[in-house]
Amino acid sequence: MSDRDEAGRFLPGNRFWEARSSAGPKPKFENGEDLWAACVEYFDWVEDNPLFEDKLVTFQGFARHEPVAKMRAMTVGALCIILDISPRTWRSWSETGATYRPDLLPIVEAAEQIIRQQKFSGAAADLLNPNIIARDLGLADRQELSGRDGGPIETKVSAREIIEGKLAGLASRGGTPGDTVESD
């Protein structure tokens, strides 16, 4: 007896879906401990695999090339590559972790803090480019310049008035417009 009609659709009462072993693909990380272990592997890899800069070193007239180890900055993007997950998956664990995967949320938060601290410390010690890291971390030295009550800056004297004043001062001293004017 067939469980489908003439059009190939399942007949009412069919429970074929119960034959499936699970609903959806198996998660990459069964629990938070598995994710943490994978994150620690990435952190260790970053420490064990610095970037190298080629420096020309001269000593007593002899020059040679020397590799100089440079700190490698941790990133969530590189962590996602190592974990074999998409950045969207990582964000979903972070943003909706409390409802989607509550077991992973503390691990995601801890990993993001470790990555942030590693970059901040590296930049503070001048081991990483402070300008790049500051932008990446969203740090900025902002100065807002504005006039009264947040309005535009207003100048009391226009450029034209400044020029006319300099010319008038020059004329009062017996000079001509082609002469050099000293600043007041």
pLDDT in tens, 11-46: 777 666 565 555 566 678 889 999 999 999 999 999
Query: Mapping DSSP to helix (H, G, I), strand (E, B) and coil, where does residue 66 land?
Result: strand
The enclosing domain of 130 has a CATH number of 1.10.132.80
Q: How confident is the model at residue 176 (pLDDT cuts 50, 70, 90)?
A: low
- Residue 148 pLDDT > 90: no
Q: How confident is the model at residue 143 (pLDDT cuts 50, 70, 90)?
A: low
Of 91-100, 112-121, 123-132, give the lowest mean pLDDT range: 91-100
Helix (H), strand (E) at residue 54: strand 51-59
Q: Across residues 116-136, what is the average pLDDT?
A: 89
Question: In this structure, is residue 98 part of a structural domain?
Answer: yes
Question: In this structure, is residue 131 part of a structural domain?
Answer: yes
Of 6-10, 25-29, 107-111, 152-156, give the lowest mean pLDDT range: 152-156
Its domain, for residue 136, covers 27-141
In the chain, the number of structural domains is 1
Question: In this structure, is residue 5 part of a structural domain?
Answer: no
Under 8 Å between Cβ of 59 and 103? no
Under 8 Å between Cβ of 131 and 139? no
Question: In this structure, is residue 146 part of a structural domain?
Answer: no
Cα separation, 77 vs 146, in Å, equals 38
Question: In this structure, is residue 21 part of a structural domain?
Answer: no
pLDDT of residue 7: 80
Q: In sequence order, which ranges of the chain are alpha helices (DSSP H)?
A: 32-48, 76-83, 87-95, 105-124, 130-137, 159-172
Q: Provide the whole-model pTM.
A: 0.61
Sign of CA dihedral 157, 160, 161, 162: positive
Question: In this structure, is residue 10 part of a structural domain?
Answer: no
Question: In this structure, is residue 182 part of a structural domain?
Answer: no
Sign of CA dihedral 132, 138, 139, 142: positive
- Residue 69 pLDDT > 80: yes
- Residue 181 pLDDT > 60: no
Buried b (16+ CB within 10 A) or exposed e, 90-109: bebbbeebeeebeebbebbe
Most confident of 93-97, 114-118, 120-124, 179-183: 114-118
Q: Which residue has the higher pLDDT, 151 or 76?
A: 76
Cα separation, 57 vs 126, in Å, equals 21
Question: In this structure, is residue 104 part of a structural domain?
Answer: yes
